[in-house]
Amino acid sequence: MGVVLNRSSDKTIHEVWEMVGNDPCERDDLIYIGGPVPGPLVAVHTLEPFSEQEVLPGLHVSTHRDALDQIVRNMQQPFRIFSGHAGWGEGQLDGELEVGGWLSSKATLEEVFSDDDTLWEKVTQRIGLEIMLPDIPPTQRPDDPSMN
């Protein structure tokens, strides 16, 4: 299971909370479209007490209604709420990765919660540098290799 990080919807948490019958929540944060597979709302967040699974150090996922409600009411920690997700059958994603169907790179907390308008460009630039300069540590890679 995965979620698309940079595809916001036009619905706010406030609107969705009204639709699903939760107590009113005055958050105007947008809900993100996590992918084409319908399913429960998914929260990606940094609040360990409400975690169902840690996916990166300090980054957690939750789908339980009570946890989601607590997460959106916490004004101090970053989070995103997704409707839908991307999914693959058993072994499907591994097979697609093996034949080069995906470019991949380790995610960072900063990217997960970054501005969704620039996320694609930032990540693809980093992947390009990883491909072109695999033996150079990230801290020593130039931002624009064409400048060398």
Strands 59-62 and 79-85: unpaired
According to the model, what pLDDT value does residue 72 have? Answer: 93
Residue ranges of the domains in the chain?
8-85, 101-147
8-85, CATH topology level: Alpha-Beta Plaits (3.30.70)
HEC assignment per residue over 21-90:
CCCCCCCCCEEEECCCEEEEEEEEECCHHHCCEEEECCEEEECCHHHHHHHHHCCCCCEEEEEEEECCCC
pLDDT along the chain (148 residues), means of 10: 91 91 85 93 96 95 94 91 93 92 87 87 84 72 60
pTM strictly above 0.75: yes
According to the model, what pLDDT value does residue 143 have? Answer: 65
- Give residue 43's Cα distance to chain centre: 9
According to the model, what pLDDT value does residue 91 have? Answer: 94
According to the model, what pLDDT value does residue 144 have? Answer: 64
